[in-house]
Amino acid sequence: MRLSRYFLPVLKETPSDAHIVSHRLMLRAGMIRQAAAGIYSWLPLGFKVLRRLEDIVHQEQIRAGHDPMLMPTLQSADLWRESGRYDDYGEEMLRITDRHGHDMLYGPTNEELITDIFRNSVQSYKQLPLTLYHIQWKFRDERRPRFGVMRGREFFMKDGYNFDIDKAAAMHAYNRHMVSYLRTYERMGLKAIPMRADSGPIGGDDTHEFLVLADTGESEVFYDKRILDLSLGERAVDYDDWDQCAAIKQEWTTPYARTDETHDAALFDAIPEEYRMTSRGIEVGQIFYFGTKYSEPMNARVTNADGDLVPVHMGSHGIGVSRLVGAIIEASHDDNGIIWPEAVTPFKVGIVNLKQGDSEADSACEALYKELTAKGLEPLYDDREERAGGKFATMDLIGLPWRITVGPRGLKNGVVELTSRRTGESREMVPAEAIAELEAIYSEV
């Protein structure tokens, strides 16, 4: 992409109504614009990051054996009356009446709709286990939408629903989701810690939230520092292996980690003092096991191996995809702007032409641009007639992890400069070497 033709409305001024760094940077970097309180348009740069996260979520869900689908944003109130949540959900639910006088709602979550789909098509335990998920916009009429996309009213969420014959099978689905979420966040360059949580309006007995540590997080968290050393890395995971998934869950849930909602001071104080940590965290996902809470009232039953009709055991599992964009920025930025992890960056490398209009600099940049593009290294080429300082400031603000700087002085010796956004370190090399380095870096992402 050439910056001269790209819609990137960066702001020089810091927006006064944005109170946390990710909100400020998303506005300044031209990623989002507010449409109404807690509702945002995603401009090209922001949309690219959102799509990257969505892709990672899909890949990891499919790897875990879950089936992607798409349910609508609008739902009929009738199903929610069956589960009893139409009245229980309260003011967070946006209720709408259509022209025929039918009660509708903008879905805050989809337990009822998916249970309805399930009960109309599945009759036997032989069709289980089954996990269906979608990534769709949700609406919750939050009393205080704030922090930009972190607590929006409209937000993009992955929600998945497992259907199993009994509690043991549903607990495997729970464990499997925990493992696949750990892998998902790790791929995004994040450390997200599973913490025992409260189930709130979704209900159920077993639930964990995934929290990313950040000073601006809304939750207070207490944890054993040693949990930060855990990583799935290259471990081969067999998502059908109950024991392996249970062992990984055990590994991550053994060190103490809880939010203020479930904090137990006595357990916490039993941890050696040097490992005891208190900080703030952003909730980027939550998994639930709630058994037959929806299948009983909604009559979602299947025949088991003995021929008896039994309600299915369910859980639901959510990832805050739009919130993650903000969470990644909270976890990865400096005074000059965003620092994207390679896995989610909107463009893989920026090209800065220090002397636009100089025929040698222009043709060196063109050659780089073509070759990087051909290799799938998605460059953003700043080909504007602007001074170097302004170009560097824009690149730093939008946070591409790598930058290639091309100027007449270097070109005299045949070299360009490759700079890391994270460390600021710059090295001179011939263009082919810079391309080869980037290829090597991105082949590992």
Q: What 3-state DSSP class applies to 27?
A: helix
Query: Do residues 316 and 291 touch, judged by C-beta distance below 8 A?
Result: no
| Using rule CB under 6 A, residue 115 touches ligand 5CA | no
Greatest C-alpha distance within the chain: 82
- DSSP per position, 214-264: -TT-SEEEEEEGGGGG---TT----TT-HHHHHHHHHHHHSS-EEETTT--
Q: Considering beta carbons, is residue 74 or 432 the nearer one to ligand 5CA?
A: 74
| Using rule CB under 6 A, residue 155 touches ligand 5CA | yes
- From the CB of 26, what's the least distance to ligand 5CA, in Å? 13
Q: Which residue is nearest to ligand 5CA (CB)?
A: 320
| Using rule CB under 6 A, residue 318 touches ligand 5CA | yes
DSSP 8-state symbol, 124: B
| Using rule CB under 6 A, residue 66 touches ligand 5CA | no
Torsion of CA 240, 243, 245, 249, to 10 degrees: 160
From the DSSP assignment, how many helices (H) and strands (E) are in the chain? 13, 23
Query: Do residues 62 and 70 touch, judged by C-beta distance below 8 A?
Result: no
152-160, 368-376, 383-391, 424-432 -> range binding ligand 5CA (CB under 6 A): 152-160
Q: What 3-state DSSP class applies to 162?
A: strand
Q: Considering beta carbons, is residue 113 or 169 the nearer one to ligand 5CA?
A: 113
Using CB under 6 A, which of 128, 132, 157, 170 touches ligand 5CA?
157
Query: Do residues 41 and 4 touch, judged by C-beta distance below 8 A?
Result: no
- From the CB of 265, what's the least distance to ligand 5CA, in Å? 25
- From the CB of 318, what's the least distance to ligand 5CA, in Å? 3
CA distance 315 to 205: 10
| Using rule CB under 6 A, residue 217 touches ligand 5CA | no
60-68, 285-293, 302-310, 359-367 -> range binding ligand 5CA (CB under 6 A): 285-293
**How many residues at the interface with ligand 5CA, by CB under 6 A?**
20
| Pairing verdict, β 67-68 and 130-139 | parallel
| Using rule CB under 6 A, residue 151 touches ligand 5CA | yes
Residues 6 or more apart in contact with residue 265 via CB below 8 angstroms = none
Using CB under 6 A, which of 46, 148, 152, 291 touches ligand 5CA?
152
- From the CB of 317, what's the least distance to ligand 5CA, in Å? 5
Using CB under 6 A, which of 75, 115, 131, 316 touches ligand 5CA?
316
| Using rule CB under 6 A, residue 85 touches ligand 5CA | no
Using CB under 6 A, which of 26, 190, 257, 284 touches ligand 5CA?
284
| Using rule CB under 6 A, residue 109 touches ligand 5CA | yes
* 5: its two tokens: 């033709």
Query: Do residues 315 and 170 touch, judged by C-beta distance below 8 A?
Result: yes
Using CB under 6 A, which of 22, 83, 184, 286 touches ligand 5CA?
286
| Using rule CB under 6 A, residue 330 touches ligand 5CA | no
Place of tokens 């009232």: 297
Q: Assess whether the previous peptide bond of 379 is cis (omega < 30° from 0).
A: no
Place of tokens 């463009």: 347
- From the CB of 3, what's the least distance to ligand 5CA, in Å? 30
Footprint of ligand 5CA (CB under 6 A): 109, 140, 142, 151-152, 155, 157, 159, 202, 283-286, 288, 316-318, 320, 322-323
